[in-house]
């Protein structure tokens, strides 16, 4: 039986196996496992950085990871709304569209807005 490949191995392992290995071993195997921040907090930091830097290819994966790591849909909505004033409205609008899709696919309720 062949072991299941990581997301990094599936995406780039055939082209850049070392990058996939470093992603698995260093980023997710070491950095994400350090005790200084919870995985929930790491997810919040990561999502906000990706939104601010307009890294749209990675946002969806990390929004899903954030939900798995304990952030709620409401907290992610608030983070994206807050980021509009610091990272720019276009970045936040794109993130909001991606978040809407992630919440729909994960069957997470979209919070009501006040």
Phi, psi of 92 (to 5 degrees): -70, -40
- What is the total count of domains within the chain? 2
Sign of CA dihedral 8, 11, 13, 19: negative
**pTM: predicted TM-score of the whole model, two decimal places:** 0.87
Which of 78, 80, 84 is CA-nearest to residue 111? 78
Q: Is residue 85 part of a domain?
A: yes
Domain of residue 77, residue span: 38-107
Asked if 64 and 80 sit in the same domain, the reply is: yes
Q: Is residue 114 part of a domain?
A: no
Q: Is residue 17 part of a domain?
A: yes
- The pLDDT score that the predictor gives to residue 107 is 85
Q: What is the pLDDT of residues 42-77, one digit of tens each?
A: 999 999 999 999 999 999 999 999 999 999 999 999
Q: What is the pLDDT of residues 71-85, one digit of tens each?
A: 999 999 999 999 999
Asked if 30 and 74 sit in the same domain, the reply is: no
* Cα–Cα dist 22/35, whole Å: 20
Q: Is residue 55 part of a domain?
A: yes
């Amino acid at each position: 039986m062949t072991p299941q490949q990581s997301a990094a191995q599936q995406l780039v392992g055939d082209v850049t196996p070392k990058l996939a290995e470093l992603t698995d071993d260093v980023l997710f195997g070491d950095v994400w496992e350090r005790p200084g921040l919870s995985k929930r907090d790491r997810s919040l930091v990561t999502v906000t950085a990706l939104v601010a830097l307009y890294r749209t290819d990675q946002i969806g994966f990390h929004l899903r990871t954030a939900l798995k790591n304990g952030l709620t849909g409401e907290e992610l909505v608030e983070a994206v709304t807050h980021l509009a004033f610091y990272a720019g409205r276009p970045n936040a609008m794109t993130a909001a569209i991606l978040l809407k899709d992630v919440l729909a696919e994960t069957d997470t309720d979209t919070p009501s807005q006040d």
